Structure 1
Amino acid sequence: MTNHPSVLVTGATGTTGSRVVGRLVALGHDITSAARRPADAAGARGIRFDWHDARTFSAALGGVDRAYLVPPVGDPGPVAVMRPFLEQARAAGVRRVVLLSSSAVPVGGPGVGQVHALLADGLFEEWAVLRPSWFMQNFTGRHVHAESVREEGVVSSATGDGKVGFVDADDIAAVAVRALTDPVAPNTDLVITGPEALSYQDVAAVMARISGRPVEHRRLTYEQMRDRLTVAGIPGEFAAMLAGLDRSIAEGAENRVTGTVERVTGRPPRTFRAHVERAFAECGRGAAPKA
């Protein structure tokens, strides 16, 4: 085991991937930063990578022994393209894989749950599956919720009064880096949440207080939420799945908090209020945050 293993990060320009790259570079690791539109980051080698183009797999796997994997966005059945990659990665000498999944998807469940099952069944001797709750960045970054907050002062959902342990992507990345670099792999799944469970009404109230402008929670039915997501450009099957997850939240499926962030990283997770305050400070209090 080397002190500085070489790590492949897929989705390297995305919400968690970019943060994982930055943290690994700061620790002195050799990083291959892989994305459909690659860009060299300071201390990382950028390469083109596309889950749906197997011709990009070999270059991504060259010389790496660990991998952080972000499934193809919007694909309701990612196992079809991820299984061949995982088998090629094992043959190429990758020893440890850390997969980004979701708190809403159990092992063997739909979508990325099938990929989770491959790892749990022993495809790699060293592995972890990160199962974060919903991202705080959904309300301050590039997401349909954040756009509606900026443009309408509205958060629309079919979550009713259900609560979620929203988590900051920086905390997810911190857990991911430990899962990738600790001497002993977790060899389990890690459910990652923030420190408190909030309803979407709570979220709207926090954003209103900090921004100084009205923000309200607009309650939608499952069908209305599905159609809203479809109009926003999300493929129909994936939009239906996301709206279904909202319905699960309304039924209490995400009303939980875990101690994973503090247990793994040694510090408590960021609160939603602190996240929003930082986002507004970075862009100026008079404007809605964009990243």
Structure 2
Amino acid sequence: MTTDGTTSTTGTTLVIGATGTTGGRTAARLTAAGHRVRAASRRATPVAGAEPVAFDWYDPATHAAALDGVDRVYLVPPLGDSEPARVMLPFLQRARAAGTHRAVLLSSSAIPEGGPAVGVVHQALPGLFEQWAVLRPSWFMQNFTGTHAHAQSIREDGTIWTATGSGRVGFVDAEDIAAVAVAALTAEHAPNTDLVLTGPEALGYDDIATILTEVTGRPVVHRRLSYEQLRDRLAAHTPVPFAAMLAGLDRAIAEGAEDRVTDTVQRLTGRPARSFRALLESEPW
């Protein structure tokens, strides 16, 4: 057993997106627990305790070295791609042929098996690997504290722009996502299911603005947009199909699609999920 109670693995775990929000945290937790980790990123950025490797979803020439000796893989889809299956499925077939036997995929609570974008990869995963899991986290709490557009607009003018209306979301801490990812990657038996991850409470964006104001002391407000207004706003920085998909996810929130709380973090990690207020109070903003 490792220091965190998970089962030690003899092979190497490939973490794709190892410098990203969940990939970086997952790689750090794995190495801290004594697992061998290959940290994949476009520039082979060093990650403490891990072997860096250059990896680009769109460059198959980088895939063989990333997969060499790997028995488990954490999959973060290519950002901004509305059809990631086109590059992900050939890679996953190659991974299986190379001896990878467990895959943990980062998806979204808003995208079901067989749904758009990464939902196609979700649907294919059980047919490719005997051991697998799909993490379907709700919206990240770090969207309000990192480099996400919400965080940037909060810092610039104290405003959060959404088309969510009064809809609520079970926002989840990226650290909790990483903890579940590690459990799914290293447990003796893979979950072989999809796991919807949320924080301990469902909050509206008005609630988020209030908590930010109270904790940081800086006034923050939520401005409500229509679906069309948000789509056009996003399209100024992202491809139109992806902007439309993102705006559609906000519209689904307004209709109640994300108003739920699950016990997944507690069940897989043995500790409760962290609240948004606790996150803000414990980390620099």
Please indicate the TM-score interval, normalised by the length of the shorter structure: over 0.9
Please give the TM-score of this superposition, normalised by the length of structure 2: 0.96
Moved more, 221-230 or 239-248: 221-230
Deviates more, 1:35-44 or 1:255-264: 35-44
State the Cα distance separating 1:5 from its structure 2 match. 3.5
Equivalent residue, structure 1, for 2:41: 35
Following the alignment from structure 2 to structure 1, what is the Cα–Cα distance between the partners of residues 266 and 79? Answer: 28
**SS state at 1:262 partner:** helix
Cα distance in 2 for partners of 1:149, 1:98 equals: 33
Of 236, 245, 249, 1:245 maps to 249
Q: What is the RMSD computed on CA atoms of the aligned residues?
A: 1.0
Aligned to 1:38, the other structure's residue is in SS state coil
Choose which of 168, 171, 183 in structure 1 pairs with 2:173: 168
1:84 aligns with 2:90: yes
Compute the displacement of 1:213 (Å).
1.4
Does the 8 Å CA contact 1:158/1:247 hold for their aligned counterparts?
yes
CA contact (8 A) 2:158 2:220 kept: yes
**CA-CA distance at 1:2 after TM superposition:** 5.8
CA offset digits 1:131-151 (Å, max 9, x no partner): 000000000001000000000
Cα deviation for residue 228 of structure 1 reads 1.5
Q: Does 1:227 align with 2:232?
A: yes
- Please say if 1:105 is aligned against 2:101: no
Equivalence for 2:132: 127
| Long gaps (5+) in structure 2 | 1-6
TM-score by length of 1: 0.94
Q: Which residue of 1 aligns with 2:194?
A: 189
Query: How many pairs align?
Result: 279
Percentage identity across paired residues of the two chains? 63
Matched, 1:20 2:29: no
Rounded Cα–Cα distance in structure 2 between residues aligned with 1:129 and 1:162 = 25
Deviations, residues 3-50 of structure 1 (Å, cap 9, x unaligned): 443100001100000000100000111111001122122210111101
Structure 1 runs (4+) greater than 3 angstroms displaced: 1-5
**CA–CA distance in structure 1, aligned partners of residues 234 and 97 of structure 2:** 39
- On the 8 A contact 1:5/1:181 being kept in 2, the answer is no
2:272 maps to a residue whose letter is P
Of 140, 146, 150, the residue aligned with 1:145 is 150
The answer to whether the 8 Å contact 1:103/1:132 transfers is yes
**Which residue of the partner structure matches residue 102 of structure 2?**
96
Q: Which runs of 5+ in 1 are unaligned?
A: 283-288
Match of 1:285 in 2: none
Does 1:275 pair with 2:279? yes
Conserved? CA contact 1:51–1:72, under 8 Å = yes
